Structure 1
Amino acid sequence: MATTSVTIRMDENLKKQAETLFDEMGLNMTTAINIFAKAVVRQGKIPFEIAADPFLSEVNQARIRESLEQLKSGQVMVKTMEELETMADE
């Protein structure tokens, strides 16, 4: 079977983390990517669910930015558990 090269761009830190994990599994990056590609072809889809992380929603990001600004300015507001639960329900 003929082989070909594929070049991809990836965050350097992600690559290092993936290589470390693959090494622990006894794989290299090429083998892991081939396993992924074969699963995609065999199943006719990405072999895992791809979904947005609700933590990264714009609302949460705005809250995080606001909290960081409060922390930087010394205006940290302590919330009660009830207030935190209400915020989580919004």
Structure 2
Amino acid sequence: MTNANLNIRTDKEIKEAAENIFAELGLNMTTAVNMFLRQTIRINGIPFELKLSEPNETTVKAIIEGKKIAEDLNSEKYASIDDLRKALEV
């Protein structure tokens, strides 16, 4: 196997924090990056879950309330934002 160099840029603090963790695990940066790359190849994708931030509790409650209102046949409905503004007196 022929070696190839990989040059990346990252914040100094991130690099140092990662190196400290790797050292505690008995690894160096090269070994850790190679582990990441091999795992990427093995699973044919990023070896950890990537997702957007989950909504906070207030947002979750608002979503649930909005769904209930939308499904409630007795709740007031508005054909336009202007109708809603009139109802809210805004």
Pick the TM interval, shorter chain: 0.5 to 0.7
User: Where does residue 89 of structure 1 map in the other structure?
Assistant: 61
From the superposition, tell whether residues 87 and 40 of structure 1 become closer, same or farther in structure 2 (CA, over 3 Å): closer
The answer to whether residue 25 in structure 2 is matched with residue 25 in structure 1 is: yes
User: Where does residue 37 of structure 2 map in the other structure?
Assistant: 37
From the superposition, tell whether residues 44 and 88 of structure 1 become closer, same or farther in structure 2 (CA, over 3 Å): closer
Q: Percent identity?
A: 42
User: Where does residue 51 of structure 2 map in the other structure?
Assistant: 51
Give the count of matched residue pairs: 62
What's the RMSD between the two structures over aligned residues? Answer: 2.0
Give the TM-score, by structure 1 length: 0.60
Q: Which has the higher helix share?
A: 1
Bigger radius of gyration, 1 or 2? Answer: 2
The amino acid that maps onto 2:40 is V
Runs of 4+ in 1 over 4 A off after TM superposition: 85-88
Cα offsets for 1:29-63 (capped at 9, x unmatched) = 000000000000111011110112337xxxx8xxx
Structure 2 unaligned residues grouped into runs of 5+: 63-90
User: Where does residue 16 of structure 1 map in the other structure?
Assistant: 16
